[in-house]
Homo-oligomer: A and B are copies of this chain.
Amino acid sequence: MDNPVLVEVFRGGLVESRHRGAVAVVDADGKTAFAVGDIAAPIFPRSAVKPLQALPLVESGAADRYGLIDEELALACASHSGEPAHVEGVARMLSLAGLDVSALACGSHWPSSQAAAFALAKTGTPSALHNNCSGKHAGFLCVACSLGIDHAGYWRPEHAVQLEVHAVLEDLTGVPLPPDRRAIDGCSVPTWALPLKNLALAFVKFGTGRGLPPARARAAARLLAACAQKPWYVAGTGRFCTEVMHQFGSRALVKTGAEGVFCGVLTELGLGIAVKFDDGAGRAAEAVMAALLARFLDLSDRDRAALARFVQPALRNWNGIEVGALRLTKRI
């Protein structure tokens, strides 16, 4: 099925580029509250499901055993920018489990924060701690160590930690995830192709606890509260996920994923959201997520003004001249 154009990129008065995508908004009963495009086709959620992948960290008792604080739980759910406090937090998580950076299997990349990258380049090169997924990986390692399992190969599909993550994803999404739905994510752990509607369902269960066993619901609530309390640790300075959660607190959890994915939950409304752009355009996914927040949440004037720059972001050139804008089509 062809997904419709949801975002147009204007330059002057003409459309320069356009992005097609699909959106699923569902309630905790799995009933569709809003949908555009094909919400049954499997898509890779990538980093958008990190909050779900962090559930075993709490459920296993590892978070309690190591006394993880909100900042560290938020890092386990994060695609962080590699800023100094992100890196220090992940290092602390590892040390609490008796490990260090050498245990991380996520690989290294430069911080996405330009300031952090430039500062680091003055004295060295990035380690796996700077990888945007390092907090998730530190969480996986804490689970293995807390359970007394050999942590070697914790990223492989057949390792006990990944088997548990797989079970959590099947439980929350309500769909079986056989090996032919599996690919390898940027940080080497499995990523599982899922229909958007099931992804939205998983997020509303996560954000409300509805349909979850009590222990799983409590673990989700703890992670949600940690992200709401410490949203800077979920992304970083100036990032959309951080800004939204800073503004709305526990009313909304939003999480970006590579290749044009965005997921979220509006807790007070009991609505889960999943967005995927066919072409992988993050700029479009972010604008649509902002528009969905504006559509569904009961906003103050201040809230609405704060969201506006994300819903219809201006394109400015190197001289700061406004040369165009992203504009949503009428579908949202």
Interface size on A, residues (CB 8 A): 51
Residues of chain B within 8 A (CB-CB) of A19 are 279
A153 at the interface (CB under 8 A from B): no
Most buried by B among A12, A114, A281: A12
CA distance A260 to B2 in the complex (A): 21
Q: Is the CB of B16 within 8 A of A280?
A: yes
**Residues from 1 to 27 in A contacting B, C-beta threshold 8 Å:** 2, 9, 11-14, 16-20
User: In this assembly, does A84 line the interface, its C-beta being within 8 Å of a C-beta of chain B?
Assistant: no
Q: How far is the CA of A181 from the CA of B105 in the complex (A)?
A: 51
Q: Quick one: copies of this chain in the complex? A: 2
Q: Say yes or no for A305: interface residue by CB 8 A criterion.
A: no
Once the chains are docked, how many angstroms separate the CA of A131 from the CA of B323?
17
Contact present for A184 and B318 (CB under 8 Å): no
Closest to A320 in B: B107
Which of B184, B260, B321 contacts A184, CB < 8 Å? B321
A20: chain B residues at CB < 8 Å are 20, 279
A279: chain B residues within 8 A (beta carbon): 17-20, 278-279, 281
**Cα–Cα, bound, A260→B11 (Å):** 14
Residue numbers in B under 8 Å from A16 (CB-CB):
43-44, 183, 259, 280
Q: Which residue of B lies closest to A180 (CB)?
A: B13
**CB of A324 within 8 Å of the partner chain:** yes
Chain A positions near chain B (C-beta within 8 angstroms): 2, 9, 11-14, 16-20, 42-44, 105-110, 114, 117-118, 121-122, 131, 180-188, 191, 193, 259-260, 277-281, 317-321, 323-324
